[in-house]
Amino acid sequence: MKKLQQLAIIGSTASGKTALSIDIAKKIDANILSLDSLSIYKEIDIASAKPTKEERQGITHFGIDVLYPNEPFDVTTFVKLYKKAKEESIKEGKELIIVGGTSFYLNVLIKGISKLPKIGKEAQEATQELLTNIEKAHDFLYQKDPSYMKKIKKSDRYRIEKMLNLFFQTKLTPTEYFKANPPQPTITEKLPIYEIEVERDILRKRIELRTQKMLKDGLIDEVFYLEKNYTREPNCMKAIGIKEVLAYFDGYYTKEEMQQRIVIHTAQLAKRQRTFNKSQFLEKTLLSLEGLREVLL
């Protein structure tokens, strides 16, 4: 059986990862795994800027159109998707390109994640009782495990709930549990990582153009459909491009202000992505889009 060859492409939003990955996949006969927290959803096509079926040019994409917007997921979903993409690629004799829109998930695949226990009914009930006051719930955990809980904001309901469930189920603090259950990496082979470097002014212009295109393609209609069918409850409805349109519906922004807010928030996201990639991926090739095209194509 042919050994799987794989590489990863990372970079901030609107840096050109998608088009580059498709061109490389065509050249080396590869499948693509998309690590993106919005493209994973069906029916979120414009807000996610996912490649259309025509743009995919027949290349198999894992991690796109997997769940409906009201279906929750966490990082373990991407671990399963990676394993599926790897298995299929080996079976087909193809290579695999991992494209990290949300490179946090790539980091987890490389560095690992601790396996969490199944949470029983009693633990869930104890958690929900404490969660009626989110600050008290945080204080409860902080008193038991200050070193771990100082990394979690008092407003981070999702992570506080997870840690409460863990504590009530195992009777261990997060620090004790994760020490006893160290992270297990999913990707154990050496993985070449390529990051696209884009000058700030150029990236800002690309973000502006992409935002204009999203609105022209029907972003407002897409968000209207999503709200009507799924309400504003799902996490994905708080994503950039969706939350600004909802605020426009509520009369907080004019159409022009809404567009500008999407650009500003996307540029802020790009800055956070660059900072994360710089701190987490030390062994990588960092080049401009044109430079990476020359190296990889």
Tokens at 123, concatenated:
């633990």
Q: Which residue has tokens 């796109």?
A: 64
Confidence of residue 273 (pLDDT cuts 50, 70, 90): very high
DSSP the chain: -PPPPEEEEE--TTSSHHHHHHHHHHHHTEEEEE--TTTTBTT--TTTTPPPHHHHTT--EESSS-B-TTS---HHHHHHHHHHHHHHHHHHT-EEEEEETTHHHHHHHHH-BPPPPPPPHHHHHHHHHHTTSHHHHHHHHHHH-HHHHTTS-TT-HHHHHHHHHHHHHHS--HHHHHHHS--B-S--S---EEEE---HHHHHHHHHHHHHHHHHHTHHHHHHHHHHHH-S-SGGGGSTTTHHHHHHHTTSS-HHHHHHHHHHHHHHHHHHHHHHHHHH--S-EEE-HHHHHHHH-
pLDDT tens digits along 213-261: 999 999 999 999 999 999 999 999 999 999 999 999 999 999 999 999 9
pLDDT tens digits along 102-155: 999 999 999 998 888 999 999 999 999 999 999 999 999 999 999 999 999 998
In this predicted structure, what is the pLDDT of residue 233?
A: 94
pTM, full prediction: 0.86
In this predicted structure, what is the pLDDT of residue 165?
A: 96
Report whether pLDDT(6) > 90: yes
- How far, in whole angstroms, is CA 149 from its chain's centroid? 23
pLDDT tens digits along 30-41: 999 999 999 999
Sequence-distant contacts of 37-40: CB under 8 A, at least 24 apart:
37/101, 37/102, 37/105, 37/236, 37/239, 38/101, 38/236, 38/239, 39/63, 39/64, 39/65, 39/101, 40/64, 40/65, 40/66, 40/67, 40/73, 40/77
